[in-house]
A and B are shown apart, each in its own frame.
Chain A
Amino acid sequence: MTQKIIVIGAGMASGRVLETLYDNGADVDVTLFNAEPRGNYNRIMLSPVLAGDQTYQDIVTHDDAWYAERNVTCRFGERVATIDRTAKTVTAENGDVLAYDKLVFGTGSNPFMIPLPGHDLDGVIAYRDLEDTEKMMGLGEGNKAVVIGGGLLGLEAAAGMAARGVDVTVVHIMGHLMERQLDEAAGYLLRKALVDKGITVKCSANSKEILGENGKVKALMLDDGTELPCDLLVMAVGIRPNVALAKECGLAVGKGIHVDDQMLTSDENVLAVGECVEHNGAIFGLVAPLYDQAKVAGQTLMGEEAAFVQKELSTKLKVTGCDLFSAGDFAEGEGREDIVFRDPARGVYKRLVIEENKVVGAVFYGDTADSNWFFGLIKDKTDIADMRETLIFGPAFQGGEPQDPMAAVAALADDAEICGCNGVSKAQVVAAINAGANTLDAVKAVSKAGSSCGSCSGLVEQLLSVTLGDEFVMPEKETVCKCTDLTHDEVRKLIKMKGLKSLPAVMQELTWSTPDGCHVCRPALNYYMVCEWPGEYADDGKSRFINERVHANIQKDGTYSVVPRMLGGITNPKELRAIADVADKFDVPTVKVTGGQRIDLLGVKKEDLPAIWYDLGQAGMMSGQAYAKGLRTVKTCVGTDHCRFGTQDSTGLGIQIEKAMWGAWSPHKFKLAVSGCPRNCAEATCKDLGIICVDSGYQILVGGAAGLDLRETDLLCQVATEEEALEYSCAFYQLYREGAQYLHRPYKWISKVGLDWVKEQIVEDADNRKALAERFHYSQQFFQVDPWAERARKGVDKHEFEPLADLTTSKVAAE
């Protein structure tokens, strides 16, 4: 007997159900409803249509003739309005009532629209069907579009419109693009490729409101107040299974319509396939599993045995020039290991996640040629123990070369400046090597590269190795950490030369061997970029040690210490009263005078920090940055103000210097002192920078230490005026900030570069000194922001200070 089947939705899944039925000669009479005014087309190919690579005609899967040949009754542009499962009938929108033996749901899903103010304006669309695509195709040069959502759909929409000359901005709430499929490293490369296509990408950006004019979209406003003008706004932030109709007729529905392995719903005469279903708690958003479902549903309808099994999924992005592939589970975890391969010259990143000798996940960017082979390894759970060493090179390269640690240097442009001191480019160094200079010393002698501060020696050695191959033996060197083969100096130089401004950028371009670094390299890289790109680099708090992250010093019991700044060690009754008041109010157990001439409140609870800072702020005090690898204090004596021996206003100068320098970050802490006479009451001779006032001016002393190492300062020079003392001090600090390796105090750095070189840079070269001081002041405009005020008044990093939950009090409630 002919089965009467009604299908709701002519989508990709239900289309396959029909094919299964007709290909197997099933005796069926099908009525096909579709809300869209057309039959089945290949929805995933809307993106190539948008980009202009294909036309709608190319992507139709079932045309009128196909339906006609099979006697399918097509009711396109018509919705099913209601269902009566007891009577086994459906009612169409026009009131027609049709009986069925079997009913098939293939209603797909609805794009999720964030209910932002203005989301119902004209020109705010989703990306789901041909109508949406046509609206985007209506734009061209001179138009602007904003896409909310940096996932697969959003990026395909953005790239498609950009290919038509539209000025597109993608606004993504997470820190990197396609965060569900890609890790940060691949996300960074993808972003770079899209930016190269002229697309503006804003990550970690929160949309606040859609602005309109005469009922039509005009701009998107972000929560930081930025307005992004647009003629069209596309929301591609996710989908929700379309279950309204199923719910109304009383089928079991969770996130999607519940189905069993046979694709039967809670009613044995009703089946469901596609994105509208929920199977074993999972919902679906890619076509591969939907095709499997469709086949099973077809077999179930024909009375055959079949069962749907969920399989591993993989994703590719259909944007020309952005080759990416992601499959399986690439979250890190217990017993999991990564194999990472990076080729910065080709923009390639590959990462395999291995667990128990099996590949469980893969993320590739830039070279996806072998992705199917790897996907096979994941699906088949192949044991890879035997090919582990060369696995990452793919099937053709078993036995290939290991990753080249020299890749980053080899990829540098010819005009990249290797030696900043003497202005020597890569091409000049290579020319010297080719002309016979085959040792570091020879290159130094011939090209002058590395002959001054020496911080580029490592790079010169790498160029020797790249140019001469095995003829040159690389000396052993101290790398930043186990994540890289590069030294601190090399990393710093490369960050500058290659313009690297984010952690993923550094790790990709400099071939980091781990996906996101470790606690040794992350803080160092963060500092190098803070120093190199003031105002441009977004400081990554998560790469800072706790003291710098919460702006207080952690103590051994987990409490904190709070030290407000007292410029030059000068305070007054108002400040002292405020300190006494907070000590009382917050039960501060210990109040101590520090060696840096200020007051330390010890034993403060983390939760109380913002409130204490607020009170101290009310009295005009700010953070003393006693926790920072940065400017700490300027200790002074009373100088000519009160002392009969004083030769200059040492307190005044100390205050001026501290005013100029507070807030600066450096490779390590930086302490100063100004003494008013050679009796040196401020102990300037063991500071990172000390000034001793004499009758004829100011002696500037550098490189002292009074910690684990004890070292007396060396005289840098003597200057005549306060202005000069300030300029020389700032120039010295900047030279140290720019040159020293992270966690090296100035004395260590000076012992490496030599005091003579420091003198050359600061004393002998006036232009250079002025330029250093200028760079310092430029940078300071971004860093002289009191971090305490930001946290106490503006709620910055609130999460750092408040517990997520306090369950100790609920005890009472439960009793």
Chain B
Amino acid sequence: MSQFIDIGAVEDIPQRGARLVKSPLGEIAVFRTAKDEIFAVDEWLPGKAGPLSNGIQHDTRVTDPMRNWVFDLATGEAQGADEGRVRVWETRIEEGRILITQQIMGELRAAE
């Protein structure tokens, strides 16, 4: 079973805002939607898009600040004609706290 790490409170991210989490596997953008859902995806799609935490959010999508690619936050899939996918990380909300899958710690997990 996947383990989860507490990365902060839901309230720490404004609605329709995003914040960065630095992990051993790279930077991860954590989004809070207007409906208080939380999504975590890679900050960068190397050579193509990013930093996504800087994009404009609408629905459960974010528009990349550099090239206007639109990504679905739930699947990480680029929308429309663009092709590409950012990794999506599982999150949960418990008692107002945001939990993210331990997998973002990379090889550390194997060491446990």
Which residues on A are within 8 Å of B, measured CB to CB? 174-175, 179, 183-184, 330-334, 514-519, 522-523, 542-546, 549-550, 554, 556, 558, 799-800, 802-808, 810-811, 814
Contacts A807-B21, A807-B23, A811-B24 given: A546-B50 contact, CB under 8 Å?
Answer: no
Contact A334 B21 (CB under 8 A): no
A331 & B24 in contact (Cβ 8 Å cutoff): no
For the complex, what is the distance from the CA of A334 to the CA of B39, rounded to whole Å? 12
List 14 interface pairs A-B (beta carbons < 8 Å), by A numbering: A331-B60, A332-B33, A514-B59, A516-B34, A518-B58, A519-B56, A522-B58, A546-B55, A546-B56, A804-B8, A804-B12, A804-B98, A807-B5, A808-B24
Q: A331-B35, A558-B51, A799-B12 given as contacts; is B56 within 8 A of A545 (CB)?
A: yes
**B17, A542: Cβ atoms closer than 8 Å:** yes
Chain B residues 55-112 with CB under 8 Å of chain A are 55-60, 63, 65-66, 68, 70, 72, 74-75, 98, 104-105, 108, 111
* A-side contacts of B70, CB under 8 Å: 519
- Closest chain A CB from B23 CB (angstroms): 5
| B45: interface (CB < 8 Å) | no
Of all chain A residues, which has the CB nearest B59? Answer: A332
B35–A332 contact, CB under 8 A? yes
CB atoms of B56 and A805 under 8 A apart: no
Given contacts A807-B105, A810-B105, 12 further A-B contacts (CB under 8 A): A183-B34, A334-B75, A519-B63, A542-B57, A545-B56, A554-B51, A799-B17, A803-B21, A804-B20, A805-B8, A807-B7, A811-B105
Q: How far is the CB of A421 from chain B (nearest CB, A)?
A: 34
Minimal beta-carbon separation of A176 from chain B (angstroms): 9
* Contact indicator B22/A334 (Cβ below 8 Å): no
Residues of B within 8 A of A800 (CB): 17
Contacting B22 at CB < 8 Å: which of A522, A546, A558, A807?
A: A807
Chain B interface (Cβ < 8 Å from any Cβ of A): 5, 7-8, 12-17, 19-24, 30, 33-37, 43-44, 50-51, 54-60, 63, 65-66, 68, 70, 72, 74-75, 98, 104-105, 108, 111
Q: Which residues of A contact B19 (CB under 8 A)?
A: 799, 802-804
Q: How long is the Cα–Cα vector from A369 to B74 in the complex, in angstroms? A: 34
- 5 closest residue pairs by CB, A with B: A519-B63, A804-B19, A334-B74, A546-B54, A542-B16
In this complex, the member of A331, A523, A543, A554 whose beta carbon has the largest number of chain B beta carbons within 10 angstroms is A331
Which chain A residues border B74 with CB–CB below 8 Å?
333-334
* Max chain B C-beta neighbours (<10 A), residue from A330, A522, A802, A805: A805
Chain A residue contacts of B34, Cβ below 8 A: 175, 183-184, 516
Q: Given the known A-B contacts A332-B35, A542-B14, A556-B66, are A806 and B56 also in contact in the complex, defined by CB atoms under 8 Å?
A: no
**Which residues on A sit within 8 Å (CB–CB) of B22?**
803, 805-808
CB distance from B4 to the nearest CB of A (A): 12
Q: In the complex the two chains form, is B56's CB within 8 Å of A522's CB?
A: yes
A316 to B51, CA, bound (A): 41
Q: Can you name the residue of chain B whose Cβ is closest to the Cβ of A808?
A: B22
Contacting residues, chain A, for B30 (C-beta < 8 A):
804
CB-CB under 8 A from A556, the residues of chain B are 66
| Nearest chain B residue, comparing its CB with the CB of A809 | B22
Q: How far is the CA of A516 from the CA of B60 in the complex (A)?
A: 11
Q: Give bound CA distance, A542 to B63, whole Å.
A: 12
In whole angstroms, how far apart are the Cα atoms of A523 and B70 in the complex? 16
Residues of A close to B24: CB separation below 8 A: 807-808, 811
Query: A183 vs B37: C-alpha distance in the bound complex, in angstroms?
Result: 13
Which of these, A544, A804, A808, contacts B13 with CB under 8 Å?
Answer: A804
Q: In the complex, are the beta carbons of A807 and B17 less than 8 A apart?
A: no
- Cα distance A519–B69 when bound, in Å? 10
> How far is it, in angstroms, between the C-alpha of A804 and the C-alpha of B37 when the chains are bound?
16
Q: Give the complex CA separation of A105 and B34 in angstroms.
A: 38
Residue of A nearest to B111 (CB): A814
List chain B residues, Cβ under 8 A from A179: 35-36
Which residues of A sit under 8 angstroms from B51, Cβ to Cβ?
A: 554, 558
A559 to B: closest C-beta gap in Å: 10
Cβ A517 vs Cβ B58 within 8 A:
yes
In angstroms, Cα B14 to Cα A811, docked, is 28
CB distance from A173 to the nearest CB of B (A): 10
Q: Determine how close the nearest CB of chain B comes to the CB of A157; give it in whole angstroms.
A: 24
Give Cα A542 to B111, complex, Å. Answer: 40
Closest to B74 in A: A334
CB distance from A278 to the nearest CB of B (A): 14
For B20, give the chain A residue with the smallest CB separation: A803
Central interface residue in A334, A519, A802, A810, by most chain B CB within 10 Å: A519
A241 to chain B minimum Cβ distance, whole angstroms, is 14
Taking a contact as CB atoms under 8 Å apart, the answer to whether A331 and B23 are in contact is: no
B58 touches A516 (CB 8 A): yes
Q: Of the candidates A514, A554, A804, A814, which one forms a contact with B21 in the assembled complex, judged by CB atoms under 8 Å apart?
A: A804
Asked if A519 contacts B50 (CB within 8 A), the reply is no
CA distance A802 to B105 in the complex (A): 20
Least CB distance from A334 to B in Å reads 4
Are A546's CB and B59's CB within 8 A?
A: no
Given the known inter-chain contacts A519-B68, A522-B56, A546-B65, please indicate yes or no for A804 contacting B35, CB distance below 8 A: no
- In the complex, what residue of chain B is closest to A184 when comparing beta carbons? B34
Is A543's CB under 8 angstroms from B17's CB? Answer: no
The CA of A558 and the CA of B34, in the complex, are separated in Å by: 25
Closest to A556 in B: B66
CA distance A251 to B29 in the complex (A): 42
Contact partners of B43 in chain A: CB under 8 A: 558
The chain B residue with its CB closest to the CB of A540 is B16
Q: How far is the CB of A609 from chain B (nearest CB, A)?
A: 12
Task: Determine whether the beta carbon of B104 is less than 8 Å from that of A807.
Answer: yes
Tell which of A333, A543, A804, A806 touches B60, judged by Cβ atoms closer than 8 Å.
Answer: A333
Query: Which residues of chain B are within 8 angstroms of A330 by Cβ–Cβ distance?
Result: 35
| Chain A residues closer than 8 Å to B98, beta-carbon distance | 804
Measured CB to CB, the closest approach of chain B to A413, in angstroms, equals 31
Rounded to whole angstroms, the CA-CA distance of A806 and B5 in the bound complex is 12
With most chain A CB atoms within 10 A of its CB, the pick from B8, B21, B55, B58 is: B58
Closest to B60 in A: A332
Q: How far is the CA of A811 from the CA of B63 in the complex (A)?
A: 32
CA distance A550 to B63 in the complex (A): 16
Q: Which residue of B lies closest to A518 (CB)?
A: B58
The complex places the Cα of A207 from the Cα of B19 at a distance, in Å, of 26
Query: In the bound complex, how far is the Cα of B54 from the Cα of A808, in angstroms?
Result: 21
Q: Is the pair A523, B56 in contact by a Cβ cutoff of 8 Å?
A: yes
Asked if B59 contacts A515 (CB within 8 A), the reply is: yes
Answer whether A805 and B21 are a contact pair too, CB < 8 Å, given A331-B33, A554-B54, A799-B13. Answer: yes
A516 touches B56 (CB 8 A): no
Q: Which residues of B are found within 8 Å of A550, using beta-carbon distances?
A: 54
Distance of B68 from chain A, by nearest CB (Å): 7
| Complex CA distance for A629 and B72, rounded to whole angstroms | 28
Q: Quick one: given A516-B34, A542-B17, are A334 and B72 in contact (CB under 8 Å)?
A: yes
> Within 8 Å CB of A334, what residues of B?
60, 72, 74-75
Q: How far is the CB of B49 from the nearest CB of chain A, in Å? A: 11
- CB-defined contacts of A814 to chain B, threshold 8 Å: 108, 111
B30 to chain A, nearest CB (A): 6
- Give the docked Cα–Cα distance between A803 and B8 (Å): 10
Please indicate which of the listed interface residues A330, A334, A806, A814 has the most CB atoms of chain B within 10 Å of its own CB. A334
Q: Give A810 to B104 CA distance when docked, in angstroms.
A: 12
Instruction: Point out the residues of chain B lying under 8 angstroms from A545, CB to CB.
Output: 56, 65
Contacts of A184 in B (CB 8 A): 34
Instruction: Please report the C-alpha to C-alpha distance between residue A293 and residue B47 in the assembled complex, in whole angstroms.
Output: 56
Bound Cα distance from A24 to B38, whole angstroms: 48
Rounded to whole angstroms, the CA-CA distance of A668 and B70 in the bound complex is 23
Q: How far is the CA of A800 from the CA of B17 in the complex (A)?
A: 8
Question: Which residues of chain A are within 8 angstroms of B59 by Cβ–Cβ distance?
Answer: 332, 514-516
Determine the distance from Cα of A9 to Cα of B58 in the docked complex, in whole angstroms.
46
**Nearest-Cβ distance from residue A403 to partner chain B, whole angstroms:** 19
CB distance from B48 to the nearest CB of A (A): 12
Closest to A336 in B: B60
